[in-house]
Structure formats: structure tokens, C-alpha cells
């Protein structure tokens, strides 16, 4: 077998194994979905954030909630805190990169909203700081993490952990988890 074929085979084996491991404990993801359903029913909003690939996952999940996942239904109030380049760069320049999500939570977060942090390491300072800011403002907090969950996992009300050190594999499972959460939310509210 060529090296490329081995890389291909191994990627699928590893992601399938991690998905199999995760499907044994639906409780954290279903608790996250329930929290989001409760926030949206009460007229609140979902604020999602993360760095790099997790930023893309935050944007993707926000799009599924605002637009649609599988069903035509009214739009749900969701926003990714990763999309405004002017805010991200000005806050990073004028304060610190650690504050890019904090300032947006302070600007847009209201008691009863939910902050959803996505971090494959669970250690990103700007994500951990945003979870702390969300708590101070009375938001519910959810963290999707990898590895052992790190400080982000410990800071969240609901912790959905994918116990792997492989960033790509964690991201793949995070995407599945976010799709499940969106599907459950949409089914409950549509």
C-alpha cells in the first residue's frame, strides 16, 4: 500500500473510531441542544466563537440556525463572533487578541443568551476569557472541546468533550456534534 493510501485509510479509521467512541455518550450534546432550545424559546440568542477551524465551525453552525438545517422554519437568533474583520482587528490592536470575543459578548450578550465556545485544545485564552465574560453577564455557557477539555471545559456550564489529541479528528467530530445539535434544536422548535 502506498503512503498516500495509508494516510487515506488511517484518517477514515481514526475518525470512525472517534465517532464510535462519542456516540456512546449523547448526554452532553443533548444537554447543549436543550439549553439552546430553552434560550431561543425565551427570545434569547446563540453566540458562537472559536479560532481557526473552530471559527469556521462557529460560522457554519450559526448559518444552520439562522438559515435552515433540514426544515423550512422561522430563523433562529444566532451569530458567529468571528465574522467582522474590523471588530476582530481593532479589538486585537487596541486591546489584545484575548479580548476579541469578550468585547463582543459585552456588546451583544444579554442575560439569558447562550455563548457556545468551540476549541480543539480547550486552552485558547480568548475563548476562555469569553466564557468568563459570558458568565459575568448572565449567559449560559457551552464548550465543545478536544483533548481533556482544558480551561474552556472547566469554565462552561455544559461541556461537550471529544477526548482526542488530534485536531483534525476533533474538528470532524465537532462538526457532527454541531449538526446533531442543530437537528435537535430545529426539531424542537420548527
Query: Taken in order 157, 158, 162, 168, is the CA torsion positive or negative?
Result: negative
The per-residue pLDDT for 2 is: 85
Q: Is the pLDDT of residue 1 over 90?
A: no
Span 30-48, average pLDDT: 98
Q: Which ranges in 109-166 belong to alpha helices (H)?
A: 125-136, 150-155
Q: Are 143 and 158 in contact (CB under 8 A)?
A: yes
- Measured from the Cβ of residue 52, the count of other Cβ atoms closer than 10 Å reads 14
Q: Is the pLDDT of residue 108 over 90?
A: yes
Span 34-43, average pLDDT: 98
User: How many whole angstroms separate alpha carbon 163 and alpha carbon 78?
Assistant: 27
Tens digit of pLDDT for each residue in 155-168? Answer: 999 999 999 999 99
Q: Is the pLDDT of residue 99 over 90?
A: yes
Q: Distance of alpha carbon 65 from its chain centroid, rounded? A: 13
Average pLDDT, the chain: 97
Provide the pLDDT confidence category of residue 190 given band limits of 50, 70 and 90: confident
Span 61-83, average pLDDT: 97
Amino acid at each position: 500500500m502506498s503512503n498516500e493510501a495509508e494516510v487515506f485509510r488511517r484518517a477514515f479509521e481514526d475518525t470512525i473510531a472517534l465517532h464510535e467512541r462519542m456516540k456512546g455518550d449523547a448526554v452532553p450534546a443533548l444537554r447543549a441542544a436543550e439549553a439552546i432550545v430553552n434560550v431561543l424559546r425565551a427570545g434569547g440568542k446563540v453566540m458562537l466563537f472559536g479560532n481557526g477551524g473552530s471559527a469556521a465551525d462557529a460560522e457554519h453552525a450559526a448559518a444552520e440556525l439562522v438559515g435552515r438545517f433540514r426544515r423550512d422554519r422561522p430563523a433562529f437568533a444566532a451569530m458567529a463572533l468571528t465574522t467582522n474583520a474590523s471588530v476582530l482587528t481593532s479589538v486585537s490592536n487596541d486591546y489584545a487578541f484575548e479580548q476579541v470575543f469578550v468585547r463582543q459578548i459585552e456588546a451583544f450578550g444579554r442575560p439569558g443568551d447562550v455563548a457556545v465556545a468551540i476549541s480543539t485544545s480547550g486552552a485558547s485564552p480568548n475563548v476562555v476569557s469569553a466564557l468568563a465574560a459570558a458568565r459575568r453577564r448572565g449567559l449560559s455557557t457551552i464548550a465543545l472541546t478536544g483533548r481533556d477539555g482544558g480551561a474552556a471545559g472547566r469554565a462552561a456550564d455544559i461541556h461537550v468533550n471529544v477526548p482526542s489529541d488530534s485536531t483534525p479528528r476533533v474538528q470532524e467530530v465537532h462538526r457532527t456534534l454541531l449538526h446533531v445539535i442543530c437537528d435537535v434544536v430545529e426539531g424542537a422548535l420548527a
